[in-house]
Amino acid sequence: MKLALRTARLGLTGLEFASGIPGTVGGAIFMNAGAYKMDMGYVTTTVKVLDPNLNVKVLTNHDLDFHYRSSFLQRAKNYICLEATFLLRKGDRDTILEIIKDRKLRRLETQPLEYPSAGSVFRNPDNDFAGRLIEEVGYKGKRIGDAMVSNKHANFIVNMGNASGDDIKKLILEIKKQIKDKYNIDLIIEQEFVK
């Protein structure tokens, strides 16, 4: 978010989509973070990585094999993203900041930003929306401990106070099973579980 705002204030366009996405640049590249029909794959030209043999390599956009919420780095988890180069274009600073402001207002209206969360839980399946499916199986407002499926947007699990990682994980896996059982859709989890 900080990088998107900093580049916008410099009159550089291309990262407006990232202005509301929490996380780091390396994490955004790893998962090919995106919004509003844009993602990191559209702006990333090269990434400097440390490979498993401790060699520093430069990967091109083509090497990174960006697709919807995925990249080469997800399949090669022992590569470490060190540095990235983006191709941004000159634009009108005020117009860019207005786009960011508009998108922030849309997010505030549709996403539960008033509570801590890790963002969208599941990738949208082809030609559908994870939030719609979760709502259809009656999970909007469902709780396990202080982890709750948001009443504002069902693809967000929010912390209502003292949710544990286990509470959140249980709720995610329960939702995944419900969607698989009812629709035979295997939702892909956007978060990474760390043991």
Residues identified as active-site: 69, 120, 190
C-alpha 90/C-alpha 160 separation (Å) is: 42
C-alpha 97/C-alpha 111 separation (Å) is: 20
- Quick check: 86 and 156 in contact, CB under 8 A? no
C-alpha 146/C-alpha 138 separation (Å) is: 18
Please, which residues bridge with residue 22 across strands? none
- Quick check: 49 and 59 in contact, CB under 8 A? yes
159: number of Cβ within 10 Å: 17
C-alpha 24/C-alpha 21 separation (Å) is: 9
C-alpha 141/C-alpha 40 separation (Å) is: 32
Tell me the pairing of strands 117-120 and 156-159: antiparallel
